[in-house]
Amino acid sequence: MNIKEVKPLKYFEKISLKLPASKSLTQRALICSALAQGVSQIINPLISEDTLLLKDALKAIGVNIKEKENIWEVEGRFPPLLSGKKIYLGNNGTGARFFIALASLGKGSYVEIYGKPRLHERPMDPLIESLRKLSSHIECLEKEGFLPIRIKEGKLVSQKISLPGNISSQFISALLLIGPCLPNGLEIFIEGQLLSKAYVDLTTNIMKTYGVEVEFFENKFKVSPSFYKPTSYEVEADASTASYFLAIPLVLGRGEIIIENYNPFSKQGDVKFLEYIKKMGAKIEILNPLGVKVSFEGIPQGIEIDLSDTPDLFPTLCILGAVAEGKTVLKGAPHLRYKETDRIKAMVTELRKLGVKVEELPDGAIIEGTKEFKSAIINTYDDHRIAMSFAILGLKKEGIKIENPECVVKSFPEFWKYIEKLYG
């Protein structure tokens, strides 16, 4: 296994970057385009392991996708073709959940869906059971409620679905995406507080762009039967990815960074990162028509953050907590334990290797900032966000080595090239 040592960034002052497109938006646009009646254009899609896996999965069920310069032309196919193929989705949890719902609309024989061992450990039961209530024919091939699965042709019906709000928002999004294709639409009732609602809002916003309206009342989503319209959709920069680079001035205690293509008014929940680092002492300047500038001098201040809507920011904020003055309390995201790895346990374990005092919580962590870091080899657990967050800390502290640095291909294949740019 490869190991990459990150060199401290000793003379950083400022840099301006243009970052890749959003993974979340690219995957949602692929599903909407696949269901649209006609040809859609996805402009500036993210090219990464996850998005390419989903693209190939859609092609396997009859969706025609042509690649042009910076554009994917997607010719929708409804119903999808169940061609008897085995479809591999790596560790793409979002793509797998969206694709399971989409394939349940299919006609033909069957498809089998599988992935890496970790994907087979990630829970799918709430989605599988909901789709079975809609008359989907899903067979779990090894363990009930988990991949691998086989989906056979069925005739989906409209039913009222209830889901607890504290599960992955991806289950809700997956069902909403196929909702307009059901005979009488779909109603989803949410029990309790809905975590990661920002990601569901992202889904409904893209559906609206493709001509489908989703109503939301207190604890209920309602989608009427309708059709996705072919659309030209331009994918904006990824707010989650941007967080690593926007954190750099605070980690180093100095400097200025501009993200040229950042949309601070995006529907992506992770734009809240700007609010979080402002509370820690960063100076934020919104640029026109797009872009943001973050500047900082000094030591960031520890804060308390509820991450129920922004769980993907947890690794970055753990790193900021490690360099901050005082304690940083991160809570509200128990579903982090079911990501590419158990991100709470992973971040706590690796921070402790570096000499950081961390208390593990069921839904987050309490981190006590320090100035004295130990050298260590960081286990990434094949999780792109673990690798990228500790790489940013390595810009401050010598002796941080990243195991399996290639795992960043999941969302940001050129991450290490961008890191090199920081050195001038």
- Say if residue 208 carries a ligand binding annotation: no
Contact indicator for 356, 390 with CB cutoff of 8 Å: no
Does 410 count as an annotated binding residue?
yes
Please give the Cα distance from 188 to 134 (Å, whole number): 12
Tokens representing 373 are 């870091």
Give the active site residue among 201, 238, 270, 312: 312
Residue 424 has a CB neighbour count (10 Å cut-off) of: 9
Respond yes or no: is residue 312 known to be catalytic.
yes
Q: Residue written as tokens 């920002």?
A: 198
322 to each of 315, 393, 405, how far by Cα in Å?
Answer: 11, 9, 21
Give yes or no for a contact between 301 and 325, defined as CB atoms under 8 angstroms apart.
yes
Packing angle, helices 343-353 and 314-323, rounded to 10 = 30
* 4 known ligand binder: no
**Is there a binding annotation on residue 255?**
no
Q: Is 109 annotated as a binding residue?
A: no
375 annotated to bind ligand: no
- Residue 339, annotated as binding a ligand: yes
The answer on whether 196 is annotated among ligand-binding residues is yes
Q: Is 159 annotated as a binding residue?
A: no
In angstroms, the CA 186 to CA 293 distance is 42
Would the annotation count 132 as a binding residue?
no
Rounded CA separation 164/187 (Å): 14
Check whether 136 is labelled as a binding-site residue.
Answer: no
Say if CB 287 and CB 354 are below 8 A apart. no
Concatenating the DSSP letter of every residue in 206-256 gives: HHHHTT--EEEETTEEEE-S--PPP-EEEPPBPHHHHHHHHTHHHHHTEEE
272 annotated ligand binder = no
Q: What residues are designated binding site?
A: 23-24, 28, 93, 122, 168-170, 196, 312, 339, 343, 385, 410
Q: Binding-site residues for phosphoenolpyruvate, please?
A: 23, 93, 122, 170, 343, 385, 410
* Residues noted as catalytic: 312
Residue positions in the annotated binding site for 3-phosphoshikimate? 23-24, 28, 168-170, 196, 312, 339
